[in-house]
Chains A and B, each alone.
Chain A
């Protein structure tokens, strides 16, 4: 238990001070590349011998970013722009920005002109994934990313390194899924905040290191008696659920998170890269085309409602909380559909506004309290 506590404390420190993780890798002589949400080809960075680190905003005072983004832009992008302009990301060799929504399209350009000392590498993922041509197109996008990575950092990958990186990422996916399953037997220890910390910390570690940490956590948990959770259980949907105060309010009200459909959390680990089917780049492109149920990726039939229903049934979640990132149009287009399906199937839904800069939680507290009582 004490080992578990130590691991959890370390992960929490990593989430609270990602800059320390950056310094840690820099001190080892590693180069570090910042990866914007929600998806970037981290495997390419890894295979090039560098460390990818996730840039998912954070709490800050927005000042300089106001010269680039209107107040109705995504709060994560506002925070990233502020951090970039303010020098918090110094030490990164480059950032990769995926143009997956309208704001991210613009961020490629804002970064390019606003934060000139950290080069920007854009990637435009294909959205018509049923087109067979999308694979070749995405391979060419990956090749452009690789060329830019090499030009900027001087570090080049080879096929062997890429295949190894893909294996490392697949193992990490499996370890995350295994953790999620085990965590639901220990909801007394894996509070909403702890669960979030474990997921989020993955963005600040080299992935095989994080896999080892996850395995240690699972090992420790498995030695503990299964907790018969008497509180409520929910599924979180959306881009992310921060600040942590929101998660603490869930815990205060005896609500555990047993599953999530968050872009920052489970969506990252759902889809493995196939082990066969071509070279590494082609297999990564096939993995992109296999992703399901993400608001940022075009897909017919609005499948998220059905996916969440299944998750609720498998995990015993009694309701769903839509963590609506402010001004996130991709999520806003999905919400009416999945909420209707969930409600129809008898699962209550609650929508709360998510903004990392939020400092007042009384309204959210009251709403979550009422929701908990309703479940």
Chain B
């Protein structure tokens, strides 16, 4: 053996991807390819907010792409920098804005011939002809889409889902949202030349409901000890729920994912790459540019993230258009008051037997950050579990410190350890 080869440890064989992940890859490729083909055929293609009633464009057979999901992908692949620079430079936007928006506005500028940033994906996020907007996630989306509409000179089809300061969706909100859904269907048909088919809608809704329930089930399977997979892996399946919620291809993926998880439970195995010492919940959007660093650090201490408030936002349940209106008002905890937010998190902490919570202070997301401290205080007291918070960003790699993350996790581990020892009487 030569000196050189002795110094370099043999590469660890890569774990083969589970079938469900391969299916996700195919589905994502198909989403972009179908949009490209639709464009070629002269059909209108849309861009949509991630918690939009996707069943509507699905029923109309429209091809829709998702800027938030796409920006997350660019960030996770460490390709965001030129977009962030272009957005904050020549396009004149503030550094303070949501990094998904910044990446996407810069990408759109390239599609619009205003910028020459090289598109790492060859422009698979094809230029939209219209926008589908809901503000259940945040108000920044409303402004971001206003700007896209003006930049690209295209219409917005908008459902204002209204923030809920109350503990339930008021009936007046349901009426307002329902009226907007009806109008939107009419306007979208007129714009795209498609026809609304009630029977097709019922089919799509049934598929969407099945997918939501399978997604929720997969999330819920993490309550097994040890959890059958590493919780971060579920982030990989989110594109199926965000972009393809009303499609049967998602049903196949979700069934496969559930089957794989059940198989692990039967065999007593897990894809989590370490012994599960601690179970925690994760609050906030994934820190996409540093997902692997997050995971590596957590793995070092045997921390599995078994509950996330984020992914479950796409488990949307309803069975008619009124129900749809109510469900989309209530889907994202960002659109709900602190009481709802706390009760949802409390339920998850209990259900998954979490020993701590990690809060992502996501610099992009004021709606999450600006009430997080009060949520932390109340939840920690109610649940009796410690928490830690770290500074990060969903897509801007500049807002994260590896050292800070590691220190914060160390601190949380100390607290969880003490609690564990006290519980077991050590």
Q: Does B135 sit within 8 A of A, measured CB to CB?
A: yes
Q: Does A41 sit within 8 A of B, measured CB to CB?
A: no
Interface string of A104-116 (1 = CB under 8 A from B): 0111111011100
**Complex interface residues of chain A between 106 and 160 (CB less than 8 A to chain B):** 106-110, 112-114, 122, 124, 126-128, 131-134, 136-137, 140-141, 144
Given known pairs A131-B180, A329-B98, the reply for A102 and B367 (CB within 8 Å) is yes
Partner of B91, one of A99, A300, A336: A336
Partner of A137, one of B98, B147, B173: B173
Q: Does A191 sit within 8 A of B, measured CB to CB?
A: no
Q: Does B338 sit within 8 A of A, measured CB to CB?
A: yes
Q: Does A162 sit within 8 A of B, measured CB to CB?
A: no
A103 touches B366 (CB 8 A): yes
**Complex interface residues of chain A between 85 and 113 (CB less than 8 A to chain B):** 99-103, 105-110, 112-113
B94 touches A102 (CB 8 A): no
A333 touches B146 (CB 8 A): yes
A330 touches B175 (CB 8 A): no
Given known pairs A126-B160, A340-B92, the reply for A109 and B366 (CB within 8 Å) is no
Q: Does B404 sit within 8 A of A, measured CB to CB?
A: no
Q: How far is the CA of A338 from the CA of B74 in the complex (A)?
A: 29
Interface bracket on B? 35 or more
Q: Which residues of B contact A324 (CB under 8 A)?
A: 94
Q: How far is the CA of A183 from the CA of B260 in the complex (A)?
A: 74
**Nearest CB in chain B to that of A129: its residue:** B160
**Complex interface residues of chain B between 336 and 366 (CB less than 8 A to chain A):** 337-338, 361, 363, 365-366
Nearest-neighbour CB distance to chain A for B105, whole angstroms, equals 9
Partner of B139, one of A100, A109, A131, A144: A100
**Nearest CB in chain B to that of A296: its residue:** B139
Q: Which residues of B contact A134 (CB under 8 A)?
A: 160, 176
Q: Which residues of A contact B147 (CB under 8 A)?
A: 302, 333, 337
Interface bracket on A? 35 or more
Partner of A337, one of B150, B163, B366: B150
Q: How far is the CA of A340 from the CA of B175 in the complex (A)?
A: 40
Interface string of B87-102 (1 = CB under 8 A from A): 0000111101110000
Q: How far is the CA of A35 from the CA of B176 in the complex (A)?
A: 25
**Nearest CB in chain A to that of B341: its residue:** A109
A109 touches B176 (CB 8 A): no
Interface string of B171-197 (1 = CB under 8 A from A): 011011001100100000000000000
Nearest-neighbour CB distance to chain A for B165, whole angstroms, equals 4
Q: How far is the CA of A123 from the CA of B156 in the complex (A)?
A: 25
Given known pairs A128-B180, A137-B173, the reply for A299 and B146 (CB within 8 Å) is yes
**Chain-A contact segment, one of B42-50, B64-72, B75-83, B371-379:** B371-379
Q: Does A73 sit within 8 A of B, measured CB to CB?
A: yes
Q: Does B369 sit within 8 A of A, measured CB to CB?
A: yes
Given known pairs A72-B366, A106-B366, A108-B165, the reply for A333 and B156 (CB within 8 Å) is no
